[in-house]
Chain A
């Protein structure tokens, strides 16, 4: 099955997510090593039990820095139309979100440190019921999308 219509994210999103997975993996790995140590030293459980948390952490990091990031990118689609914004993502659990332009309260772009290095930015869409994001667009495109949505939302403005 193929993802639906709409624009993909910037390809550098995969790089971003890989770096983020590795960065998040460091504390996760440390915690799992701690758990393994406790299991070995403080419990009478057999030795293989200690391997479980470490293996889980390594698998999780490997997945999210490897094929996970590619699949995530492959299944992300976004489109901004005159009346609605349509976001679809997720390989395993597929989520499609439709936000009417008239419900947009305001639009931001945010850039994390890694994103900035890569020249990426995230568009954050605020409604009265929480925020949605279009992650990892090129920074030029993110600003353009933000301006476009702000202009379209203004047409629909109800406040």
Chain B
């Protein structure tokens, strides 16, 4: 096909519906939200032989299915006269006209569920960046039709489309790796959620008094019984974690497209993120407790300030050998790749152990208090059974030691490195331009020992903005704070190019008598101040 004189009108597709498989895919998505309430209602009512709940749910199911069928019937796409026309909506109708020359990119993707039907999602990105629902998404197009549509759209747009092999992903996760990721995640939160749900369910179903009966019998099972229950619980949590990983991470793909990263993952619900690399604030390599023996890690990032629905954190690789992580980051976000090998970082001296121990004892003390209260509450059990939780104290002491041993910070090759230790070890890499503020904290004990915490403000990351290195020697902290002033001076827009305006400052600033900085301004300018390293030089006039 000649790309020299694009003819938008030559490519046409008659009005077409999606594959009926869309009804199933969409219905499954709708039903997922209904499953748990349905189970609760059925269980709670089932005991009383009342069929009302069942009927309600049968009606709801039927209505949902009918609604999906109506949506499917009314959604058509068409290419005519150089425009893509998408008509949709069952009650309120919507027609979208997308001029083909506005089409920016056309992506194909499929989930395992779509593959069952031989379908693909086609996503047509338009020029209206940042607008909600700017993209056209057709979620159930037969694979062949989707490829033809993609080729047609792109060639009609006038882009010479060499049967373009999409760039290979930077990182993918095989099924085995997904299972490994689940098996080594060490996450118990999902298991707790399931446990709470089951407990609520049991509360609904079991006759009154079952709980107190259980509590009375609890001491009778003996120590081995308790150990057995604990082991069974751990096994269940482990299986739930694996199951959760399969749902979340199946088909993980990381692509780099120019200055953006595209990430997609998920078995039933495909989650897609597209992150401008320039918005990345920090990258972390996290070696979890269960992953360290295998040399495996998870690579995550935080980002900030891109659009209203922008997520503030994401994953570059759910599971990757530590050695490969550096290579991956170098390809995905080069400015954040940790130097290999990681240089020797300034670390807390052994006298800082007291501080680490104290911090680690807080959760241990809370656990102990909770255990004693629980034991005192259980009938037939003495309060001092709770003292079994004292076992947490040596664990906390060991944890504190690992924390101390692995913690460190340093600036190397334009990168700010923070390693936080413990049973999990995390290396966070950022650049001076992304450090929003820096903070030195000292309590009286630390002052006496000549130690201080260093906290760095890094944007994004689910509300947690401070990355703290604890109990470093105060001299080291002061040096890092000062070094960051030198390195972080110039403003690097997008992290790559300086658009720093070299405007004179002296003329500004009303009411300069009371300002303490007025005396310092001249001194600062003489020393080069913030303009050091900006590429233009402090004294050069603006062009």
Task: Contact check, B516 vs A80: say whether CB atoms are below 8 A apart.
Answer: yes
A151 and B442 CA atoms in complex are apart in Å by 32
Within 8 A of B (CB), among A18-72: none
A93 and B492 CA atoms in complex are apart in Å by 34
A151 and B525 CA atoms in complex are apart in Å by 16
Task: Contact check, A81 vs B439: say whether CB atoms are below 8 A apart.
Answer: no
With A81-B521, A83-B489, A84-B485 in contact, is A99–B437 under 8 Å at CB? yes
Q: How would you classify the secondary structure of chain A's contact residues: helix, strand, loop or mixed?
A: mixed
Residues from chain B with a CB closer than 8 A to the CB of A158 are: 491-493, 499-500
A6 and B520 CA atoms in complex are apart in Å by 11
Residues from chain B with a CB closer than 8 A to the CB of A129 are: 304, 436-437, 457-460, 465-466
In the complex, how many angstroms separate the beta carbon of B97 from the nearest chain A beta carbon? 33
Task: Contact check, B516 vs A6: say whether CB atoms are below 8 A apart.
Answer: yes
In the complex, how many angstroms separate the beta carbon of A85 from the nearest chain B beta carbon? 9
In the complex, how many angstroms separate the beta carbon of B84 from the nearest chain A beta carbon? 34
Residues from chain B with a CB closer than 8 A to the CB of A128 are: 281, 304-305, 436, 459-460
Task: Contact check, B520 vs A98: say whether CB atoms are below 8 A apart.
Answer: no
Residues from chain A with a CB closer than 8 A to the CB of B514 are: 141, 144
A110 and B438 CA atoms in complex are apart in Å by 24
Within 8 A of B (CB), among A84-137: 84, 92-103, 127-130, 132
Residue among A83, A92, A144, A148 with the highest chain B CB neighbour number at 10 A: A83
Residues from chain B with a CB closer than 8 A to the CB of A98 are: 437-439, 481, 485
A93 and B453 CA atoms in complex are apart in Å by 11
Task: Contact check, A95 vs B530: say whether CB atoms are below 8 A apart.
Answer: no
- Size band of the interface chain A makes with B: 35 or more
With A7-B516, A100-B530 in contact, is A151–B458 under 8 Å at CB? no
A31 and B174 CA atoms in complex are apart in Å by 57
Residues from chain B with a CB closer than 8 A to the CB of A92 are: 443-444
In the complex, how many angstroms separate the beta carbon of B306 from the nearest chain A beta carbon? 11
Task: Contact check, A83 vs B530: say whether CB atoms are below 8 A apart.
Answer: yes
A23 and B492 CA atoms in complex are apart in Å by 46
Task: Contact check, B491 vs A80: say whether CB atoms are below 8 A apart.
Answer: no
Within 8 A of A (CB), among B125-169: none
In the complex, how many angstroms separate the beta carbon of B467 from the nearest chain A beta carbon? 10
Task: Contact check, A157 vs B501: say whether CB atoms are below 8 A apart.
Answer: yes
Closest to A125 in B: B437
B307 at the interface (CB under 8 A from A): no
B222 at the interface (CB under 8 A from A): no
A15 at the interface (CB under 8 A from B): no
B505 at the interface (CB under 8 A from A): yes
Residues from chain B with a CB closer than 8 A to the CB of A130 are: 436, 457, 465
Residue among A92, A129, A141, A156 with the highest chain B CB neighbour number at 10 A: A129
In the complex, how many angstroms separate the beta carbon of A9 from the nearest chain B beta carbon? 13
In the complex, how many angstroms separate the beta carbon of B362 from the nearest chain A beta carbon? 16
A82 at the interface (CB under 8 A from B): yes
Closest to B511 in A: A144
Task: Contact check, A96 vs B439: say whether CB atoms are below 8 A apart.
Answer: yes
Residues from chain B with a CB closer than 8 A to the CB of A155 are: 501, 503, 505, 508
Task: Contact check, B465 vs A82: say whether CB atoms are below 8 A apart.
Answer: no
Closest to A83 in B: B530
Residues from chain A with a CB closer than 8 A to the CB of B505 are: 82, 151-152, 155
Residues from chain A with a CB closer than 8 A to the CB of B391 are: none
B385 at the interface (CB under 8 A from A): no
B543 at the interface (CB under 8 A from A): no
Closest to A145 in B: B515
Task: Contact check, B509 vs A94: say whether CB atoms are below 8 A apart.
Answer: no
Task: Contact check, B437 vs A97: say whether CB atoms are below 8 A apart.
Answer: yes
Task: Contact check, A95 vs B440: say whether CB atoms are below 8 A apart.
Answer: yes
In the complex, how many angstroms separate the beta carbon of B303 from the nearest chain A beta carbon? 10
A83 and B447 CA atoms in complex are apart in Å by 28
With A79-B517, A155-B501 in contact, is A93–B441 under 8 Å at CB? yes
Residues from chain A with a CB closer than 8 A to the CB of B348 are: none
B510 at the interface (CB under 8 A from A): yes
Within 8 A of A (CB), among B243-272: none
Q: For B529, give its contact among A83, A95, A99 (CB under 8 Å).
A: A83
B421 at the interface (CB under 8 A from A): no
Task: Contact check, A82 vs B459: say whether CB atoms are below 8 A apart.
Answer: no
A93 and B455 CA atoms in complex are apart in Å by 14
Task: Contact check, B442 vs A100: say whether CB atoms are below 8 A apart.
Answer: no
Task: Contact check, A94 vs B442: say whether CB atoms are below 8 A apart.
Answer: yes
A136 and B477 CA atoms in complex are apart in Å by 29
Within 8 A of A (CB), among B486-543: 488-493, 499-501, 503, 505, 508-511, 514-517, 520-521, 524-525, 529-530
Task: Contact check, A82 vs B437: say whether CB atoms are below 8 A apart.
Answer: no
Task: Contact check, A103 vs B510: say whether CB atoms are below 8 A apart.
Answer: no
Closest to B443 in A: A93
In the complex, how many angstroms separate the beta carbon of B154 from the nearest chain A beta carbon? 33
Residues from chain A with a CB closer than 8 A to the CB of B510 are: 144, 147-148
Task: Contact check, A127 vs B457: say whether CB atoms are below 8 A apart.
Answer: yes
Residues from chain B with a CB closer than 8 A to the CB of A148 are: 508-511, 515, 517
In the complex, how many angstroms separate the beta carbon of B123 from the nearest chain A beta carbon? 29
In the complex, how many angstroms separate the beta carbon of B440 from the nearest chain A beta carbon? 4
Task: Contact check, B530 vs A102: say whether CB atoms are below 8 A apart.
Answer: yes
Task: Contact check, B516 vs A79: say whether CB atoms are below 8 A apart.
Answer: yes
In the complex, how many angstroms separate the beta carbon of B535 from the nearest chain A beta carbon? 14
Residues from chain B with a CB closer than 8 A to the CB of A95 are: 439-441
Within 8 A of A (CB), among B452-484: 457-460, 465-466, 481
Residues from chain B with a CB closer than 8 A to the CB of A83 are: 485, 489, 524, 529-530
Can you sample 20 A-B contacts with CB below 8 Å? A81-B517, A81-B521, A83-B529, A97-B439, A98-B437, A98-B438, A98-B485, A100-B437, A100-B489, A102-B491, A127-B436, A129-B437, A130-B457, A144-B514, A148-B510, A148-B511, A148-B517, A155-B501, A155-B503, A156-B500
Beyond A82-B530, A128-B304: 8 further Cβ-contacts under 8 Å? A81-B517, A82-B529, A96-B439, A97-B437, A100-B485, A102-B488, A127-B437, A128-B305
Q: Enumerate chain B interface residues (CB-CB to A < 8 A).
A: 281, 304-305, 435-444, 447, 457-460, 465-466, 481, 485, 488-493, 499-501, 503, 505, 508-511, 514-517, 520-521, 524-525, 529-530
- The 9 A-B residue pairs with the shortest CB-CB distance in the complex, in nearest-first order: A128-B459, A129-B457, A83-B530, A129-B436, A129-B465, A127-B436, A158-B491, A151-B508, A129-B459
